[in-house]
Structure 1
Amino acid sequence: MAVPAVTTFPKSNDRDEAFVQVSAERASSEKQNDKELDVKNELSNDELADFAAEKSALRKFDWILLPQIMMIGIMAALDRINIGNARVMGFETSIGLTGSQFNDIAMVFSPTYIVFEIPWVVAVPYFGIHRVLAVAGLGWGVVTLGTGFIHNYGQAIATRVLLGIFEAALVPCLIFIISTIWPRESQAKRVGFVYIASSISGAFGGLIAYAIQISGERHGLESWRWLFIVEGVVSTGLAMICWISLPKSAEDAWFLSEREKSAMMAKKQREIVYKGEALFTWATFKVACLEPLVWLAGLILFSNASAVTGYAVFLPTILAGMGYTRVQANYLTIPIYGFTGIVVMSAAYVSDRLQRRGIILAILPLFPIVGYSIAIGTANRAAGYFGMFLCAAGLISFTCIFLTWLSNNIAPDSKRSVALPALVSLANISGISSSYIYQQDDAPRFVRGNSISVSFAVMVVIGVVGMYFLLLKRNNEKKKLLSEGVTDNGLMGDRALNFEYKL
């Protein structure tokens, strides 16, 4: 039987067997006194009460924490990709950009985003997710607000560098805290909220940009400036609320009763034997860095992210290149991201239901392969627009389920707390190169850019298949040792004999 990598409920079969055993003892032993029977009955009731408290606590996390995660994800994504909307609103002309300078501005976000991911997520166990995300959110909100007042290329570069520093906290921190609260069998739906937030932000971003764009210049400020100002003010306010509303940890959430806190603490303590502490150590850092699974996963995420980053930033530009007007290019992104949100949650639900994430992950990249191929093969703008639906649905859904798959298959927590941001950092190196996939001299159809993106999608399929067989090989090796009577292979975490990788 596999030992879960993250917190789980006690196995129902184990409880039933324990209760059956107690009942048998009561029936077969007439010499047991009433006091012993009362003690056993009391222990059974306590176990049931702890289980009920644990379930109640997780329901509260679903209703209170997940909506906050979505709001944070929505605002972070808006602040990150709004530069693409601003571009078709006159951003380039207003600050005097020439040549590939816009691509430079899009690119510089990635280096700092990469460098600061691990420090942010390592800080969570020490300071709590409420403080870490509140500080990060306040930072990216102020930077976004300030972007509305820039006047030249150098200032634009500076704001994007700072934005990368603060937004680096978002995804790895949220995925790490999710991995410490919910069972790994149901994490995809929760991680799905992080990525459905990206879809919602894309839809809202297009709607907000459209509304601000048609409003025109106000108080001497161009419409693209108001786009940054409005979104920056909202993000700053949300960050202040997060300090109060987000819990410090799974076992110390303000909205849990004392019984529920005790149940979550008890669960954490009994799983430390298998998971280890989540605090950073150089030993676990070394283990995570030497893990082949992390490097393979990083290459897969790099390939997918190369297509995702280019798509998210340049979608309005791509749509404008198909023949749509600048105003249309903003509001036509709304249905694309709305459809993507539905696909993200559907794919997450199916992967949790079937517990076969590898197969689903091998299928999802086929959508962008078809979508980009349509855009490459025809100049028909309706067909090209349809292809963009397929691209968004496959690219964004993939990241959600893939990170869940990795979180399920990396243990203990201390290794996971380093591995998750490390592999996401490897993936985000793609932001440096993907910012140059869509060059202005490739307009209007951007055949070269779409061709590069489809090649990355093909690499993703190959990588997922390779990773699937790597995990299958490790599981088979453990089964062979167990069948030979081996009880300990001398390894820990996910490499231990009693850990079964989720396929």
Structure 2
Amino acid sequence: MEASPDSSVRGVAEKETLGYREETAHEAAERGHTATDRYGRALVHIDPAAERKLRLKIDLMIVPTVSLLYLFCFIDRANIGNAKIAGFDKDLGLKGYDYNVVLSVFYVSYILFEIPSNIICKKVGPGWFIPTITLLFGICSIGTAFVHNRAQACGVRFVLGIFEAGMLPGIAYYMSRWYRRSELAFRLSLYIVMAPLAGAFGGLLASGILKLSHFGGLHTWRMIFAIEGIITCGLALISYATLTDRPATAKWLTAEERDMAIARVKAERVGTTEVLDKMDGPKLMKGIFCPVTIGTSLIFLLDNITVQGLAFFLPTIVRTIYPKNTVIFQQLRTVPPYIVGGFFTVLFPFLSWRFDRRQIFFIISAPFMMIGYIMFLASTDPQTRYGATFLITTGAFSFGALCNAQVSANVVTDTARASAIGTNVMFGNIGGLISTWAFLPFDGPNYHIGNGLNLATSSLILLLSIAMLFYMKWSNKARERKDVDAELAGKDDKSLSDLDWKHPSFRWRP
């Protein structure tokens, strides 16, 4: 694209005086060309109308595939909650804390393989990596239909965790190759919304499957795992053909659109000469140990205690609210809270796109969760407690998109982005592991310990979010006082790239 035709003479003169000029999108897209100057100012102008058309085209080609894959990823993980109230624990002879153990085993492998999976995703390419792990965890879901004791269930869940570990961070990293920082949270929400929708759709699907008399030689809860696993495998095979690895290989874009897609992402990354950089240790460490990555990851950990706890225990909680109703009735009552949560999962990230802000929505979301758990603790009335689940899903589910977008927005290089997102999701799944022990058998039916724990975590989210906002504003003011030329003197391109968020022209993006 050409430079803006309405650029003023004064503006051009100022740019020449400061030693930089606007590049074409093709120049900015080329390997070895930087799309910003050393002060972090973009050197390329892209026509807004052309960019809107390109963004819509990317949305239509990228979002539907990853959304469907993540929907069944979450269903294959969380359908154990639906299986439990259909006889899973009784048929396997689970007693005491056995069910919690089965849930925990999944998170052990899920946590251990989080960062390695995203590193492999970068090396192999998301276009191959994401369909492959989808196929493998679909096979694991089918395998769960044939377990007969706790040991077998633990083994299958451990392997399921290995393959699902790369899904959430892999898709978030993949989409960061295509979108600007302000756009990313909303696009992430369009697939992360599949988590609450999986709770709703999973309940409906489980109810429908349980109405079947049998599926082959399988009955009751075994049918849930088998049928949902087969659907997952089918989607994985289709996605090999539909997922495009990166803008440079997108055959559905024209040459000009490919250049624009690369240039617009590159123009936000100060000091980078290529979108897909070579992996090295310093940049990996910058992503993991970025202050915003660590703070946001802690928030995601605390939030996931709620989110994953709902996935595994909401059917059980609903059963304690409506103990005299049928299993199918109980399954269906898990659907409405997830639908409401899904709406806010998209709404808050949409607003964050429009305002290019994420931290404020952390602060807005936490009180919904706090009020919901206060209602759980303060009342035993079934309708009040059921109403509380709507407030909890309203506040909890948007963090998946917002947290991953926040860590992505606050590092520079592609390598740092891969490790930052991997770290965020790893911490989140530590929260998932904790959630498996939040609602214990002896604590029912009111679950004071589980609800009290979640009230504490949502309160901490609010305090941490406010503290991080103040830190970023304080740090940005300190960076404005730095002498950029003096700090960058004598550094070559690799040294500049390795600076990442430590680059003096970099600013935190709250």
State the TM-score, normalizing by the size of structure 1.
0.87
- Report the Cα distance in structure 2 between the residues aligned to 1:346 and 1:296, rounded to whole angstroms: 23
Determine helix, strand or coil for the equivalent of 2:233: helix
**Contact 1:79–1:232 under 8 Å retained in 2:** yes
Tell me whether 472-481 or 155-164 shows the greater mean CA deviation. 472-481
- Report the Cα distance in structure 2 between the residues aligned to 1:340 and 1:54, rounded to whole angstroms: 31
Counterpart position of 2:505? 498
Does residue 361 (structure 1) correspond to residue 362 (structure 2)? The answer is yes
**Contact 2:4–2:47 under 8 Å retained in 1:** no
Summarize deviations over 1:316-346 as a string: whole Å, max 9, x none.
0111112343322211111111111111111
Q: Describe how 1:219-234 pairs up with structure 2 within 5 A.
A: 219-234=216-231
Does residue 237 (structure 1) correspond to residue 234 (structure 2)? The answer is yes
**Contact 2:270–2:505 under 8 Å retained in 1:** no
- Following TM superposition, by how much is the alpha carbon of 1:253 offset from its aligned partner in structure 2, in angstroms? 1.6
- Following TM superposition, by how much is the alpha carbon of 1:23 offset from its aligned partner in structure 2, in angstroms? 11
Counterpart position of 1:342? 343
Summarize deviations over 1:132-166 as a string: whole Å, max 9, x none.
01110001000001111111111100111011111
Summarize deviations over 1:273-306 as a string: whole Å, max 9, x none.
6345443211212333433332222222111112
Q: Describe how 1:28-427 pairs up with structure 2 within 5 A.
A: 55-265=52-262, 274-275=271-272, 277-324=276-323, 325=325, 326-427=327-428
**Contact 2:176–2:408 under 8 Å retained in 1:** yes
Counterpart position of 1:3? none
Q: 1:237 to 1:397 in 2, by over 3 A?
A: same
**Contact 2:180–2:264 under 8 Å retained in 1:** no
Q: Describe how 1:431-470 pairs up with structure 2 within 5 A.
A: 431-470=432-471
- Report the Cα distance in structure 2 between the residues aligned to 1:173 and 1:405, rounded to whole angstroms: 16
Summarize deviations over 1:393-421 as a string: whole Å, max 9, x none.
21111232122122111222221111110
- Report the Cα distance in structure 1 between the residues aligned to 2:478 and 2:104, rounded to whole angstroms: 43
- Report the Cα distance in structure 1 between the residues aligned to 2:191 and 2:255, rounded to whole angstroms: 29
- Report the Cα distance in structure 2 between the residues aligned to 1:288 and 1:52, rounded to whole angstroms: 33
**Contact 1:322–1:445 under 8 Å retained in 2:** no
- Following TM superposition, by how much is the alpha carbon of 1:70 offset from its aligned partner in structure 2, in angstroms? 1.0
- Report the Cα distance in structure 2 between the residues aligned to 1:88 and 1:395, rounded to whole angstroms: 24
Which structure has the bigger radius of gyration? 1
**Contact 2:180–2:265 under 8 Å retained in 1:** no
Q: 1:272 to 1:389 in 2, by over 3 A?
A: closer
Gaps of 5+ in 2: 14-23, 28-43, 489-495
The number of equivalent residue pairs is 469
Q: 1:147 to 1:265 in 2, by over 3 A?
A: same
Tell me whether 49-58 or 372-381 shows the greater mean CA deviation. 49-58
Summarize deviations over 1:454-498 as a string: whole Å, max 9, x none.
1111111111112111111111112233xxx64454473223222
Tell me whether 459-468 or 47-56 shows the greater mean CA deviation. 47-56
- Following TM superposition, by how much is the alpha carbon of 1:271 offset from its aligned partner in structure 2, in angstroms? 6.7
Summarize deviations over 1:428-469 as a string: whole Å, max 9, x none.
112222211111111112121111111111111111112111
> In structure 2, what residue type is equivalent to 1:502?
R
Summarize deviations over 1:168-192 as a string: whole Å, max 9, x none.
1111111112222111112111011
The structure richer in helix per residue is 1
- Following TM superposition, by how much is the alpha carbon of 1:245 offset from its aligned partner in structure 2, in angstroms? 0.6
> Percent sequence identity over matched residues?
27
The CA RMSD over aligned residues, in Å, is 2.6
State the TM-score, normalizing by the size of structure 2.
0.86
- Report the Cα distance in structure 2 between the residues aligned to 1:494 and 1:169, rounded to whole angstroms: 25
- Following TM superposition, by how much is the alpha carbon of 1:382 offset from its aligned partner in structure 2, in angstroms? 0.9
- Following TM superposition, by how much is the alpha carbon of 1:257 offset from its aligned partner in structure 2, in angstroms? 2.4
Does residue 480 (structure 1) correspond to residue 487 (structure 2)? The answer is no
Determine helix, strand or coil for the equivalent of 1:71: helix
